[in-house]
Amino acid sequence: MTDLMSHLKSHGQEHLLTGWDGLSPEERESFTAQLRAIDFTKIAELFAKKDEPGASLPPRDRIAPLPVEQPAAAAVEIGEGALRRGEVAVLVVAGGQGSRLGFEQPKGMFPVGPVSGATLFRIHAEKVLALTRRYGKPVPLLVMTSPATHSETVADFEQERNFGLPSGQVHFFQQGTMPAVELATGKLLLEKPGQLALSPNGHGGTLTALADSGLLARLKSAGIKHVFYFQVDNPLVNVCDPAFVGRHIQADAEVSSKVVFKERPEEKVGVLATVDGRCAIIEYSDMPKAMTEERAADGTLAFRAGNPAIHLFSVPFLERVTSGHQRLAFHLARKKVLHWDPASGQTVNPDEPNALKFELFVFDALPMAERWLAVQAKREDEFAPLKNADGPDSLETCQALMVGQARRWLTAAGATVAGDAAVEISPLFALDAAAVKMKVKPGTVVSGTTYFSET
Ligand code: UTP
């Protein structure tokens, strides 16, 4: 305790031990471990940067639109070969707190299926199972959680028996956390006596956690060469799309990204571009209005390569960006953080941002790639984000996109779907339009709400 006190004092953080006397021996032990794991020097360095202007955009002449390829049917065989050899793993990031949706449980447990009520986790896991069956090799499913979502996520997979996947095929790993510090003073905030206010370290924490957990090394020795990355809140994601995997391999890319074209300048989506000749993502909040409105010769938006956060990383690239000097750097965000105030002994729920949080962004890895590739995806086929309780990117828009895709696949197979029928296709029934064609006879009439399930 005296050791700990002097350690904290030397960093101006002795307030953290307020309330120590009221802690049980176990609480003291775990709090001590929590404090010992904190790199106070690093936190102080980050705090010192709080008034520096954010990484502002370089001048316009250093930025150029990124060439975007069309999906290449010719590459399908190459991608399928990699899947048959078991070289591709699937990584879903599910550590976020989903605050905008306002759902109490991890977002992956949200019942998004428009007919079945299947959860996001079920839909993703069924896609992985369907891929495993199709290509005859287990596709590892890596689920990244955070302390905010871990135990409920693991319990859900357990209760649902991994949605049919053998347990050895599902791997959970937790992203790191970072303490929040008081904006005015740099002092670490407490959630309660004996407990720091911690939050997930951003989706960029995925890459470091994948390496730090030892999972990356295990995947590599199991022969995995590529990791397909996506966010838990997109039920339309075309997991391990063989044409995409194939082009990535053909081009020997270190990172390949799917791109969804922006149609309107004001759409709030990050955009892939090149900065100083390297692939980068420009956040919508950083892009000047004039740039969002620029047009190419054919009249389309010049910077239209919207980022749906679907990437394929090569394993050597992941090793490189998670080791040594190339590690990602933290972004600073001013946030409201509920905390316990040692001075008053009260819990404080601030109205204004009172804290700094530190986050890593996955797309900061892109400029580190020597070779990259961007491939167009159609929004209606591959991107239905579930972010908000209502309005854009809400359950309503997400389910409408899911139903729209199912209707298109059925119609392409020659079925007739009644105008108002909600339809949904389980990935175990069919993974894509071609698979629907093999199972649904032309002339089939779908007259009402229908869930096409495995059986
Ligand atoms: P968002 O940034 O949209 O955050 O995450 P969110 O948690 O889903 O929702 P809000 O912003 O609180 O409303 C995009 C993806 O990144 C994951 C999320 O789980 C989601 O799949 N994520 C985000 C993490 O895994 N860890 C993080 O620290 C942040």
Pairing of strands 445-446, 416-417: parallel
SS percent in the chain: helix, strand, coil, step 5: 35, 20, 40
Which tokens is 24 given?
A: 């049980």
Whole-number pLDDT of residue 335: 87
Burial of 402 (0-12, 13-18, 19+ CB in 10 A): buried
Which tokens is 408 given?
A: 């298109």
Judge whether residue 324 has pLDDT over 90: no
Residues 259-316 pLDDT 10s: 999 999 999 899 999 999 999 999 888 889 999 999 999 999 999 999 999 999 999 9
Residues 35-58 pLDDT 10s: 998 999 999 999 998 887 666 688
For residue 233, the ligand 1 atom closest to its alpha carbon is 21
Whole-number pLDDT of residue 430: 98
For residue 232, the ligand 1 atom closest to its alpha carbon is 21
At residue 331 the predicted structure's pLDDT band, cuts being 50, 70 and 90, is: confident
Mean pLDDT of 143-156: 96
Exposure on the CB side of residue 403, measured as CA atoms within 13 A:
21
Percent of the chain with pLDDT over 70: 98
Whole-number pLDDT of residue 54: 63
Per-residue H/E/C for 241-297: CHHHHHHHHHCCCCEEEEEEECCCCCCCCCEEEEECCEEEEECHHHCCHHHHHCECC
For residue 97, the ligand 1 atom closest to its alpha carbon is 7
Whole-number pLDDT of residue 326: 59
Q: How far is the CA of 95 from the centre of ligand 1 (A)?
A: 6
The residues, any chain, with a CB within 8 Å of residue 24's CB and separated by 6 or more, are: none
Judge whether residue 327 has pLDDT over 80: no
Average pLDDT for the chain: 94
> Whose CA is closest to atom 2 on ligand 1?
96
Out of 106-120, 293-307, 333-347, pick the least confident. 333-347
Residues 176-207 pLDDT 10s: 899 999 999 999 999 999 999 998 888 889 99
C-alpha distances (whole Å) from 162 to each of 71, 78, 167, 171, 277 are: 32, 29, 7, 11, 43
Judge whether residue 8 has pLDDT over 90: yes
The residues, any chain, with a CB within 8 Å of residue 404's CB and separated by 6 or more, are: 380
Residues 218-258 pLDDT 10s: 999 999 999 999 999 999 999 999 999 999 999 999 999 99
Q: What is the DSSP-derived secondary structure letter of residue 454?
A: -
Hey, is 111 helix, strand or coil? strand
For residue 95, the ligand 1 atom closest to its alpha carbon is 25
Q: How far is the CA of 38 from the centre of ligand 1 (A)?
A: 23
The residues, any chain, with a CB within 8 Å of residue 199's CB and separated by 6 or more, are: 97, 148, 177, 178, 180, 337, 357
For residue 145, the ligand 1 atom closest to its alpha carbon is 25
> Whose CA is closest to atom 3 on ligand 1?
387
Q: How far is the CA of 145 from the centre of ligand 1 (A)?
A: 10
Q: Are 127 and 431 in contact (CB under 8 A)?
A: yes
C-alpha torsion sign, points 94, 212, 363, 187: positive
Whole-number pLDDT of residue 2: 76
Question: Measuring CA to CA, which residue among 304, 266, 303, 300 is closest to residue 285?
Answer: 266
Residues 17-40 pLDDT 10s: 999 999 999 999 999 999 998 999
* E strand spans, 155-238: 170-174, 177-179, 181-182, 190-192, 195-196, 198-200, 226-231
Whole-number pLDDT of residue 271: 97
Mean pLDDT of 318-340: 85
Question: Measuring CA to CA, which residue among 198, 181, 196 is closest to residue 95?
Answer: 198
Q: Which of 142, 203, 386 to mutate to test the pocket of ligand 1 (most atoms within 8 A of CB)?
A: 203
At residue 80 the predicted structure's pLDDT band, cuts being 50, 70 and 90, is: very high
Q: What is the DSSP-derived secondary structure letter of residue 329?
A: P
For residue 144, the ligand 1 atom closest to its alpha carbon is 25
Cα 145 off chain centre by: 10
At residue 389 the predicted structure's pLDDT band, cuts being 50, 70 and 90, is: very high
Q: Are 124 and 232 in contact (CB under 8 A)?
A: yes
* Helix (H), strand (E) at residue 167: none
Q: How far is the CA of 19 from the centre of ligand 1 (A)?
A: 33
Whole-number pLDDT of residue 81: 98
Of the chain, the end-to-end C-alpha distance in Å amounts to: 62
For residue 388, the ligand 1 atom closest to its alpha carbon is 13
Q: How far is the CA of 428 from the centre of ligand 1 (A)?
A: 27
CA–CA dist 170, 180 (Å, integer):
31
Q: How far is the CA of 203 from the centre of ligand 1 (A)?
A: 7
Amino acid at 12: G
Query: Residues lining ligand 1, judged by CB closer than 6 Å?
Result: 93-101, 107, 144, 146, 175, 200, 202-203, 231-233, 387
**What predicted TM-score, i.e. pTM, was given to this entire model?**
0.92
Identify the bridge partners of residue 388 per DSSP, sorted by sequence position: 394
Q: Which of 123, 124, 142, 233 to mutate to test the pocket of ligand 1 (most atoms within 8 A of CB)?
A: 233
C-alpha distances (whole Å) from 295 to each of 187, 255, 287 are: 47, 27, 15
Burial of 55 (0-12, 13-18, 19+ CB in 10 A): exposed
Q: Phi/psi at 395 (nearest 5 deg)?
A: -55, -40
> Whose CA is closest to atom 22 on ligand 1?
96
